[in-house]
């Protein structure tokens, strides 16, 4: 599932391509036909990302809400408009570009109260300038759940996914099983600041890189990581490979229904 940095990149890209002008909206697949009719021909005022949720704000207080889930994907191009390929849930056509959406978990038109309700059930998004990390801390401090699971809870931290959760805990030298009750306010602030910096770098680069300069392939004279997720990381999907810091084989185990990766030495 795309993590928050990807959704923020999409919001910026869609703003560049379509905001400030009327947009033609349709549903070649048909499943979003009624929603498309509500938006078709309207001016797209702005776009917004909140965690893993993408919002397109149209004139008339109508908002398109998209959650890509595991299989959702956008494709784009310049005219001429191609024939739809596959199950195109939504198609947008602006002055200079077209945009197709396939396979999302959610694709719906929301009224203002529903938009506010969506924001209300999401936690603080490290990539938003209006995010307040102090808002999340009481939830963390009062929970005995492992910190790894708390970071993945979108009602606590919006936009943090599996890769960032694994990596930020390694960088902090914390066992992923550390209960929330053991996290001090200063530690939470440090974790938040590091997570925010990593995710901002992800927005800028378009991929997730989490290793410090001294652990890059160039600095260590090692081969670059080969993985469909791209990026240089410490533990994610590096099962049994040597830790880049201490050489201990990276471990894997299930937690909160997800794969947890950690170094048994650096995160003991």
Task: Please report the pLDDT score of residue 1 as a whole number.
Answer: 81
Please report which confidence band the pLDDT of residue 256 belongs to, taking 50, 70 and 90 as the band edges: confident
Task: Please report the pLDDT score of residue 67 as a whole number.
Answer: 98
Paired tokens of 57: 């704000």
pTM above 0.85, yes or no: yes
* Widest pairwise Cα distance in the chain: 58
Q: Is the pLDDT of residue 90 over 80?
A: yes
How confident is the model over 223-245, as a mean pLDDT? Answer: 92
Q: Is the pLDDT of residue 212 over 90?
A: yes
What does the pLDDT look like over 41-88, one tens digit per residue? 999 999 999 999 999 999 999 999 999 999 999 999 999 999 999 999
Tokens 């930020």, residue located: 168
User: Catalytic positions, please?
Assistant: 2-3, 52, 258
25 to each of 20, 84, 168, 169, 175, how far by Cα in Å? 15, 13, 39, 42, 48
How confident is the model over 254-258, as a mean pLDDT? Answer: 86
Task: Please report the pLDDT score of residue 226 as a whole number.
Answer: 85
Paired tokens of 46: 């702005």
- Work out the percent of the chain whose per-residue pLDDT is above 70: 100
Please report which confidence band the pLDDT of residue 19 belongs to, taking 50, 70 and 90 as the band edges: very high
Contact 2, 164 (CB under 8 A): no
- Please enumerate in sequence order all residues whose Cβ is within 8 A of that of 158, keeping only pairs 6 or more positions apart, or say none: 4, 50, 51, 52, 53, 122, 123, 124, 125
Return left, alpha or beta for 11; rule: phi > 0 is left, psi -120 to 50 is alpha, else beta: alpha
* Mean pLDDT estimate for the chain: 96
Please report which confidence band the pLDDT of residue 211 belongs to, taking 50, 70 and 90 as the band edges: very high
What does the pLDDT look like over 117-172, one tens digit per residue? 999 999 999 999 999 999 999 999 999 999 999 999 999 999 999 999 999 999 99
């Amino acid at each position: 599932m795309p993590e928050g940095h990807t959704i923020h990149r999409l919001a910026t890209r869609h703003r560049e391509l379509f905001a400030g002008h009327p947009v033609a909206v349709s549903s070649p697949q048909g499943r979003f036909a009624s929603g498309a009719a509500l938006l078709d021909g309207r001016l797209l005022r702005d776009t917004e990302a909140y965690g893993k949720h993408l919002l397109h704000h149209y004139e008339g207080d109508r908002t398109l809400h998209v959650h890509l889930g595991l299989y959702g994907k956008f494709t784009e191009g310049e005219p001429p408009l191609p024939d739809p390929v596959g199950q195109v849930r939504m198609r947008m056509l602006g002055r200079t570009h077209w945009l197709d959406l396939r396979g999302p978990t959610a694709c719906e038109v929301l009224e203002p109260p529903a938009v506010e309700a969506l924001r209300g059930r999401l936690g603080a998004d490290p990539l938003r300038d209006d995010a307040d990390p102090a808002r999340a801390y009481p939830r963390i401090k009062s929970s005995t759940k492992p910190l790894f699971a708390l970071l993945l809870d979108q009602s606590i931290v919006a936009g943090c996914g599996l890769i960032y959760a694994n990596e930020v805990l390694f960088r902090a030298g914390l066992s992923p099983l550390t209960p929330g009750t053991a996290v001090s306010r200063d530690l939470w602030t440090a974790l938040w600041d590091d997570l925010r910096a990593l995710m901002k770098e992800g927005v800028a680069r378009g991929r997730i890189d989490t290793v410090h300069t001294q652990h890059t392939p160039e600095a260590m004279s090692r081969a670059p990581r080969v993985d469909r997720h791209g990026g240089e990381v410490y533990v994610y999907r590096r099962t049994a490979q040597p830790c880049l810091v201490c050489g201990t084989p990276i471990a894997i185990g299930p937690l909160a229904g997800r794969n947890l990766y950690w170094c048994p030495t650096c995160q003991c």
